[in-house]
Amino acid sequence: MDFKDIRPAAGVGRKIHIETYGCQMNVVDSETVVAIMQREGFVWTDNVREADVILLNTCSIRDNAEQRIRHRLDELSAMKRRRKGLVLGLIGCMAERLREQILEQHPAVDIIAGPDAYRSLPLLVGEVSEGGRGVNVELSKEETYAEISPVRLDANGVGAFVSIMRGCNNFCSYCVVPYTRGRERSRDPETILREVRELFDAGYREVTLLGQNVNSYNYELRTDDKPRDIEFTRMSEARRKKTKLITNYERGYAEKQANNCIDFPELLRRVAEISPLLRVRFATSHPKDMSDELLAVMASMPNICRAIHLPAQSGSSRVLERMNRKYTREWYLGRIAAIRRAMPDAAISTDLIAGFCGETPEEHAQTLSLMREVGFEFAFMFKYSERPDTAAARTMADDVPDEVKTARLNEIIALQNELSLASNRRDVGREFEILVEGFSKRSRDKVFGRTLQNKVVVIPRAKNHPGCEPCSQPPLHGRGTCPDHKPGDYVKVRITGCSSATLQGEEV
């Protein structure tokens, strides 16, 4: 597989443009939609003005996400009035959740397609050409788009997202995802491994395995899957002998083979075995499914990243119970201790919600104390936003006033900035290997890359080049024969300075 084979195809045809909102799952969904449309002769464009079909791939997770998208719909509706024949579609979670409302309130919208209806998009566009509106919001128990290799739209050709499962069965009381994305289902591992191999062959050096709850991935092999899987197992067996895993893991593995199931630790190991030059990340993990087995696999393979995103949501067991998170503060801290035992150098990041229903000042203080106790490297932090029809909206009062939510969120953000800065300061003087992704935002004389811990490091663009005078003056670099670091290069660096968001370094 060549780089150009997984990029948007050139050529003539009706032009399609997609704007993507929300999570990484939506990024890979948009790439899947481009692949589906390309098969039907459409051509991708990144210029909204020249598109014949514009799709907004939407997010419903918080009210402000939906408001932003409605505003954009208004702008595009105005554009549509000026351009006859333009097809405007809303796809993804908001399309699933607000179908009738959108059709009623935004008459310019021609297409509504939910997250499991993307295969029908060419048909829906056809219905619009015949003068109708195309709507499909059916959720599926099986759809994983397994055999469709997404057309990659990323900027750098270094890192790609790979969807390994869809939907969610957890029903956290605040969350709309189980309603908009349907039941949890895992993708055939063979198709995942094939997609990752194609990415590696095309020059990609990092994949992020994606799902709402990746560590509950579990694929039951069907009867017709068994023979090729046995072949697979033999290969893996030989490789596994080289890897020391804890006994429990080995025992668990034997049981799984007997049951013909591939779970997340097993999938992760198989992906990481594709090449030691391929970095493997994953998101998002649920604390209740963060098993010792998964940690053992991570610890045994140096190309699996030393970064775990483990959303806590709250530091109070009572709030966690109201959120239906299925763990307590103590359980969460127990999992953090297990991560530290298995990988003392792992970075731990999290998601936190401020001002959930009934949150008292003491319960909020417990979130702050959990943050201090864990010392998170990084966090996504949100104000609670009530989502219609969720368990919280149906059974609990959204009773923390908005100004209190804002004040609590600001406290959480201020503390996280302190923790991130403290963690980055500890890295000063240490050495890491980074994978270069591109130019630094601030200067073309610098490039940035990430450590295994997912921290961004900015280094001079010029490679160390002993004896070359301009090396000490990076702005002169690139004019002569001095080589530069390029996206996809691995570089050993020493950290020389930091802010709360970034590390600065130099090649060693």
Burial of 177 (0-12, 13-18, 19+ CB in 10 A): buried
> Is the distance from CB of 63 to CB of 74 less than 8 angstroms?
no
Count of residues engaged in binding ligand SF4, rule: CB under 6 A: 10
Q: Name the minimum Å distance from CB 21 to ligand SF4.
A: 16
Looking up tokens 């609670």 gives 384
- Closer by beta carbon to ligand SAM, 7 or else 318: 318
Interface pick for ligand SF4 out of 170, 191, 243, 260 (rule CB under 6 A): 170
| Segment 404 to 423, residues that bind ligand SAM, using CB under 6 A | none
SS3 content of the chain, % helix, strand, coil (to 5): 40, 20, 35
C-alpha closest to that of 7 among 204, 280, 194: 204
Identity at 227, one-letter amino acid code:
P
Instruction: Single out the residue of 171, 237, 399, 401 in contact with ligand SF4 (rule: CB under 6 A).
Output: 171
What is residue 277's three-state secondary structure?
coil
45 vs 213 by CB, closer to ligand SF4: 213
**Binding to ligand SAM in span 32-51, by CB under 6 A:** none
**Among the listed residues 286, 335, 405, 455, the single contact to ligand SF4 using CB under 6 A:** 286
Q: Does 301 bind ligand SF4 (CB under 6 A)?
A: no
Nearest to 465 by CA among 446, 484, 449: 484
Determine how many CB atoms are found less than 10 A away from the CB of residue 261: 14
Question: What does the angle CA 414 – CA 417 – CA 422 come to, to the nearest 5 degrees?
Answer: 130
- Taking CB under 6 A as the criterion, the residue among 55, 162, 177, 221 binding ligand SF4 is 177
Residue 159 touching ligand SAM (CB under 6 A):
no
Contact status, residue 405 vs residue 354, Cβ threshold 8 Å: yes
CA distance linking residue 177 with residue 456, whole number of Å: 30
Q: How far from 86 is each of 1, 53, 65, 134, 335, CA to CA, in Å? A: 34, 6, 25, 14, 52
Least Å from the CB of residue 351 to ligand SAM: 3
Binder of ligand SF4 out of 6, 16, 117, 172 (CB under 6 A): 172
Does residue 502 bind ligand SF4 (CB under 6 A)?
no
Nearest Cα neighbor of 273 from 247, 307, 300, 248 is 300
Can you tell me which of 17, 62, 364, 461 binds ligand SAM, judged by CB under 6 A? 62
Q: Which residue stretch of 96-104, 111-119, 168-176, 417-425 sits at the interface with ligand SF4 (rule: CB under 6 A)? A: 168-176
Minimum separation from the CB atom of position 313 to ligand SF4 (A): 8
Q: Which is nearer to ligand SAM, 37 or 409 (CB)?
A: 409
Nearer to ligand SF4, 141 or 426 (CB): 141
Instruction: Please work out, in degrees rounded to the nearest 5, the angle formed at the alpha carbon of residue 427 by the alpha carbons of 425 and 431.
Output: 155
Contact flag: residue 180 with ligand SAM (CB under 6 A)? no
- Of the residues 181, 286, 408, 461, which one makes contact with ligand SAM according to CB under 6 A: 286
Beta carbon of residue 284, minimum distance to ligand SF4 (angstroms, whole number):
7
Q: Which of 180, 213, 216, 440 is in the footprint of ligand SF4 by CB under 6 A?
A: 213
Query: Is the dihedral angle over the CA atoms 384, 385, 386, 391 positive or is it negative?
Result: negative
Which residue number, 62 or 80, has a Cβ lying nearer to ligand SAM? Answer: 62
Least separation, in Å, of the C-beta of 172 and ligand SF4? 3
Give the DSSP per-residue string, 328-381. Answer: -HHHHHHHHHHHHHH-TT-EEEEEEEES-TT--HHHHHHHHHHHHHHT-SEEEE
Nearest partner of 248 among 219, 305, 291, judged by Cα: 291
Least distance CB 477 / ligand SF4 (angstroms)? 45
Both tokens assigned to 172:
């956290």
Least distance CB 27 / ligand SF4 (angstroms)? 16
Binding residues (CB under 6 A) for ligand SAM: these are 23, 61-62, 174-175, 177, 212-213, 284, 286, 311, 313, 351, 353, 382, 384-385, 387
Binding residues (CB under 6 A) for ligand SF4: these are 168, 170-172, 175, 177-178, 212-213, 286
